[in-house]
Structure 1
């Protein structure tokens, strides 16, 4: 992963409104995330936290204000591989069977483009990403044979394979067991230590409390709190982490195994 000066800005929102159609879900938000920070985005269901993340990824339109990622307006970043994304999806599933290696190799498309073969450096990046999530011994196994928690780690490896400078994750610990949550926390600690900026959307930070150091609490489309992670629960107030709030945000499309695959050479050479 790339290293960056502490003074650099990875994410900047100025008076930003993000929503769907002409309806803002996030309204007039200001937020700055510096390179190397590990930020939790907290809030109840429907609070706007997922819409905020989707706005950064260009998956929800910016209706007003400014949103910048890695120094470029959202949607205009030329090197897409600089931003990794793990969607809010508990498992990897699909009609097309694929091995762990094949799924993770798809993450290199952001660096290569659709029609280029993986070279030696790309194959090394895929191997490093799989090893980083603790699945090196499962490289050639079908993803469908893995547990839900292991499949979540495959999705993390897919994002890491592009060697991103910014990694955005939506509810990465939801629906997986405690052992898988601990394994993911260890992965993210290593990723953060390399200087990669983390932005993690979650409804509870317990499993990642040793990794995430700063939090913002989104409430009814506004940032209610921005400060150390330790103060987030008190700032949210009683009842703020329940299922109240505005209408539910549209779900993301997530990752599908029928997306483009990558040619890595003959199976015998793997």
Structure 2
């Protein structure tokens, strides 16, 4: 941990506008996530929830305001190895065969840097991450041989291998069965118990409702609710669920203006 950045929040957005190119999708948002919190970011397709988190990860442009992660400006190289990310996709199989160990080992690269070769501590971190997601007996198997739910857990292990202080997940339960969702919930509960900050983007909580404690509801690029998770569901239902898709791949169809009465503020 870098001296001087241990006391601030895990995530801090001040009047932040985030988007693609020069077009904002999220506008004027204030948001603080404290160290060790377990937060659900909720909202319909196109609400801005994914863009909000992509801005925190440095994957979408910060067009205005301020975004800080683990006490440093977003994109700071000193933070890169301290943030784990599980992207929004269902599987990790591809054209090139790879074992579970090989895929999860990629998670150590940010910690290693360019010159250092993996050592005993890196190999141990990979083994522990695979065990944490319940796949210790599959370490040497090709990921293509695993079920979709197991492949999602491999992605989680890849993120955990970096021993992150902040773990961000985008729709981790999408497309997997109830048993896999339950297994993931157990993993995340154990991760949260270690003090790791969790931020989970999702349109449905499912099994994760018992792990996450705070809900942030995005709507039309603003924050409509920020508080206890128990109150978030009613807000999502009350918003009615929009169907535009500017949030998924950038502003392809034009973003509707913020709904009347909604602010880009936090609590």
* 1:1-270 matches, cutoff 5 A: 8-238=8-238, 240=240, 242-245=241-244, 247-250=246-249
Alignment TM-score, normalising by the size of structure 1: 0.88
Provide the residue aligned with 2:260 in structure 1. none
**Structure 1 CA distance for aligned equivalents of residues 183 and 56 of structure 2:** 27
Query: Would the aligned equivalents of 1:111 and 1:162 in 2 still touch at CA under 8 Å?
Result: yes
CA offset digits 1:215-264 (Å, max 9, x no partner): 10000000000000000011234353x3524634317xxxxxxxxxxxxx
CA contact (8 A) 1:79 1:110 kept: no
Deviations 1:201-228, CA, capped at 9 Å, x for gaps: 0001121011000010000000000000
The superposition leaves residues 66-93 of structure 1 with CA deviations (integer Å, 9 ceiling, x where unpaired) of: 0000000001141411000000000012
What's the TM-score, normalizing by structure 2? 0.89
Q: Deviations over 1:88-139 (max 9, x none)?
A: 0000121111100000001000100244321000010001000000000000
- The alignment covers a number of residue pairs equal to 247
Asked if the contact 2:6–2:71 (Cα under 8 Å) also holds between the matched residues in 1, the reply is no
Q: Within 1, Cα distance between the matches of 2:33 and 2:244?
A: 25
Cα distance in 2 for partners of 1:217, 1:7 equals 26
SS in 2 for 1:209: helix
RMSD: 1.8
Give yes or no for contact 2:11–2:31 (8 Å, CA) kept in 1.
Answer: yes
- The answer for the alignment partner of 2:262 in structure 1 is none
Q: Name stretches of at least 5 consecutive residues in structure 1 with no aligned partner.
A: 252-270
On the 8 A contact 2:72/2:79 being kept in 1, the answer is: no
Q: Are 2:85 and 2:169, in contact at CA under 8 Å, matched by a contact in 1?
A: yes
8 Å Cα contact 2:51/2:247 also seen in 1: no
Indicate the larger mover: 173-182 or 90-99: 90-99
| Mapped contact 2:6–2:70 kept (Cα < 8 A) | no
- For residues 104 and 14 of structure 1, do their structure 2 counterparts lie closer, same or farther at Cα, with a shift above 3 Å needed? same
Provide the C-alpha distance between the structure 1 equivalents of 2:211 and 2:98, rounded to a whole number of angstroms.
Answer: 31
Which whole-Å CA distance do the structure 2 matches of 1:151 and 1:114 have between them? 27
Shift of 1:14: 0.1
> 2:22 & 2:79 partners in 1: Cα distance?
29
SS in 1 for 2:44: coil
Tell me, yes or no, if the aligned pair for 2:39 and 2:198 is still in contact at 8 Å. Answer: yes
Question: Would the aligned equivalents of 1:166 and 1:196 in 2 still touch at CA under 8 Å?
Answer: yes
Gaps of 5+ in 2: 251-267
